[in-house]
Amino acid sequence: MAHLLAHPRSSRQEGQAFSARQSVINPHSTRQPPKTALVSTQPSRPEGRGMRKLSSAVLALCFAASALTAQASLPDTAYTTAAVSLRAKPDPTSRSLGRLAAETPVQVVACENGWCQTAVNGLNGFLPRLSLSAEPNGSFKEGSGYTNSKGNRVRSPTRTPDNQPPAGASAQCRDGTYSFSQSRRGTCSHHGGVAKWLP
C-alpha cells in the first residue's frame, strides 16, 4: 500500500518539475527578437537623412564657391555686352534708371546672385551679371555672313566700340548689334528683334 502511494507523489513531483521547466522556458519563448532587430535598425534612418542633408550642403557650398570665383574674375571696370537697362534694384522688373548702350564702361562695386551693383555716369544701379564683360566686345564674335533669298551675300550683325552704326547697316537690334539685312523680314531675328531702323 505504501508502494502504491509513492507513485502519486512521484507523479506530482514530475508534474511540478515539468511546470518548473515550462516556467523557465516560456519567458524566453515569448520574446520576439525581430522587434529588437527593428528597434536596432531605426537609428540608421535619421543618419541616412543626415548624410543626404550633409551632401546637399556640400554641393551648395561648391556651387556658391564657383559663383564667387566667376564674380571675382570681373575687373573693377567692365563693359556691357549689349544695350541694357540699369535697374534701381537687382530685379528685372525694377525701375529703370537709364538705358546703357553696348560696350559702355561701368564701375563694378560688387556682384551677387546674378546681379552686379555698378556706377556709371553718376548713376548707381544694378546690371545683370551676364550683361557684363571684362573686355570690350569680349563676348561677341561676328558671324561669317549669309546668303539672302535674292542670292546676295550679307554681312552678319556686328557691334561697334562707340555704338555708332557702321557703314551699310540697316537696323540696330535690341541686343545692341547692327544688322545689314536687305529685307525687313527676319531682320534681327536672332538678336532680340529690331530696336530701330536706320535711314
67-78: per-residue pLDDT in tens?
Answer: 444 444 678 998
Q: Is 195 inside any structural domain?
A: yes
Question: What is the per-residue pLDDT for 139?
Answer: 55
Among 133, 150, 179, give the residue marking a domain's end. 133
Mean pLDDT across the chain: 74
pTM above 0.85, yes or no: no
My answer on whether 80 and 104 are in the same domain is yes
Higher pLDDT, 65 or 92: 92
Same domain as 78, residue 116: yes
pLDDT at 25 over 60: no
Per-residue pLDDT of 6-24, as tens digits, reads 444 544 555 555 444 544 4
Q: Residue 3: pLDDT above 80? A: no
Return the closest-CA partner of residue 168 out of 182, 155, 180, 156: 180
Q: Which residues lie across from 121 on neighbouring strands?
A: none
Angle at 68 between CA 66 and CA 72, to 5 degrees: 120
Q: Among residues 112, 133, 154, which one ends one of the domains?
A: 133
Q: Indicate the number of domains in the chain.
A: 2
Q: Do residue 114 and residue 147 come from a single domain?
A: no
Does one domain contain both 125 and 147?
A: no
- pLDDT at 132 exceeding the cut of 90: no
- Based on the fold, state whether residues 147 and 127 are members of the same structural domain: no
Q: State whether 154 and 110 are in the same domain.
A: no
Q: Are residues 149 and 196 in the same domain?
A: yes
Q: Tell me which of 133, 157, 173 is where a domain ends.
A: 133
Q: Is 53 inside any structural domain?
A: no
Q: Are residues 117 and 165 both part of a single domain? A: no
User: What is the C-alpha to C-alpha distance for residues 191 and 169, in angstroms, rounded to an integer?
Assistant: 14
Does residue 14 sit within a domain? no
Q: pLDDT by residue (tens digit) across 156-187? A: 998 877 668 899 999 988 777 899 999 988 89
How open is the CA angle 48-54-56, to the nearest 5 degrees?
Answer: 105
17 in any annotated domain:
no
Q: Quickly state the pLDDT bin for 140 (edges 50, 70, 90).
A: low
pLDDT above 90 for 154: yes
Q: CA-CA distance, 171 to 4, in Å (whole number)?
A: 129
One domain, residues 81 and 125: yes
Does residue 62 sit within a domain?
A: no
Enclosing domain of residue 85:
74-133
First-last CA distance in the chain: 142
- What is the CATH classification number for the domain harbouring 92? 2.30.30.40
Report the relative pairing of strands 96-100 and 105-112 from DSSP bridges: unpaired
Q: Compute φ and ψ for 192, nearest 5 degrees.
A: 85, 5
Percentage of the chain beyond pLDDT 90 is 30
58, part of any domain: no
